[in-house]
Amino acid sequence: TIDANGHWVFIANSAFNQLNVGDRVEETFTVTSVDGTPSTIKVTINGTNDAATVSSTTVAVDETDSAITTSGTLTSTDIDNPDNAFTPDSITGTNGDLTIDANGHWVFTANSAFNQLNVGDKVEETFTVTSVDGTPSTIKVTINGTNDAATVSSATVAVDETDTAITTSGTLTSTDVDNPDNTFAPASITGTHGGLTIDANGHWIFTANSAFNQLNVGDKVEETFTIASVDGTQSTIKVVINGTNDAATVSSATVSIDETDKPVTTSGTLTSTDVDNPDNAFTPDSITGTHGDLTIDANGHWIFTANSAFNQLNVGDKVEETFTVTSVDGTPSTIKVTINGTNDAATVSSAKVTVDEADKATTTSGTLISTD
């Protein structure tokens, strides 16, 4: 419009946002002075870069045992450029690299596994990218720490029972990428056969709750305790208590008898007490000695039979013999037999003499004999 004073106003009929840098539209209007002389008003509308509307993204991922990769696609709306058009780029960051192609598809690759991050730890990185018209946007990547399971040693210990409750100990080790090495959750565990404690450094002690003397050779009791490193990774300590032969308490015997006119026989019964075998249990045996034979049965009853009458022994003479026997678990004991000499009566001849009296005293004689 133009008024009588020559003041004109041009109003475009649109925003012309579709015009880019370098684009333009022109229009010429003809106006006249009051006497009809014509003139022109030329209007040129130049295009400008209207900023695109570009999406951004924030991505959070958990670290794993290898370098993670994550990806996505940005979008853009641009009235003076094609939609979803980006400036391709490859960006090296602190925690990894990001690439974006012309279509807005981006890929982030971490430069390590970040196993050192524990639960609650994180690293973040923000990358700036641009649409094709230069409008910036951001891609924020957060890598969250997780609990990487520790590598924890285990233990299997075998010990022999003794006369008292045994104690055994050791030290476990752990390797952990997101916790200090060799760090454990202290615990005190009561088991069936004993108690186990473990401290923060992995040192453990097992104490049996009895001597387990009742266990014989070949017998055993086992117990497995579950413990954990400081991050909760579990491991086990297995304790095996092996039975041993606890020596029996076995009686012995010392017997003294007098010789007679025939081989003597004497007998008795041994006893035994054994924590890991039945009481009064013996190894049957038959033993030939120098002066006689001895037999013993499974119940400890023994019999000695001399191999002669030993009549040649006088008062104060003796023969002795010691026999070794064993309880069923092999504990030895002895039976000592002493045969004492006695006075065996001699066999003596007698004499009967008849003589006639004479005028003087008579004399007669002879010889007696004895066998002893």
Architecture of the domain delimited by 151-243: Sandwich (2.60)
Q: What is the pLDDT of residue 190?
A: 98
Consecutive H or E run containing 236:
strand 234-242
| CA pair distance 222, 213, nearest whole angstrom | 15
pLDDT of 196 reads 98
Q: What is the pLDDT of residue 372?
A: 56
* 53-145 topology per CATH: Immunoglobulin-like (2.60.40)
What per-residue confidence (pLDDT) applies to 349? 61
User: For residue 230, which amino acid is it?
Assistant: V
pLDDT of residue 77: 87
**Closest listed residue to residue 132, CA positions, set 54, 57, 22:** 54
**pLDDT score for 14:** 67
pLDDT (0 to 100) of residue 72: 96
Say whether 249-341 and 151-243 share the same fold.
yes
Q: Domain 249-341, what architecture? A: Sandwich (2.60)
Task: Locate the domains of the chain by residue range.
Answer: 1-48, 53-145, 151-243, 249-341
Biggest CA–CA distance in the chain, Å, is 236
pLDDT tens digit at each of 372 positions of the chain: 888 887 988 787 866 666 566 767 788 878 888 888 888 777 776 666 666 788 999 999 999 989 999 999 999 987 777 889 999 999 999 999 999 999 999 999 999 999 889 889 999 999 999 998 888 999 999 999 998 889 999 999 999 999 899 999 999 999 998 889 999 999 999 999 999 999 999 999 999 999 999 898 899 999 999 999 999 999 999 999 999 988 899 999 999 999 998 999 999 999 999 988 899 999 999 999 999 999 999 999 999 999 999 988 989 999 999 999 999 999 999 999 999 999 765 565 666 867 667 778 777 776 766 565
β-pair partners for 100: 89, 106
Angstrom CA distances, 334 to 23, 146, 247, 252, 321, stand at: 126, 72, 15, 5, 10
- Do residues 283 and 328 lie in contact, with contact meaning Cβ atoms separated by under 8 Å? yes
Closest CA to 168 of 204, 142, 128: 204
Structure confidence at residue 344 (pLDDT):
64
Give residue 249's pLDDT.
Answer: 94
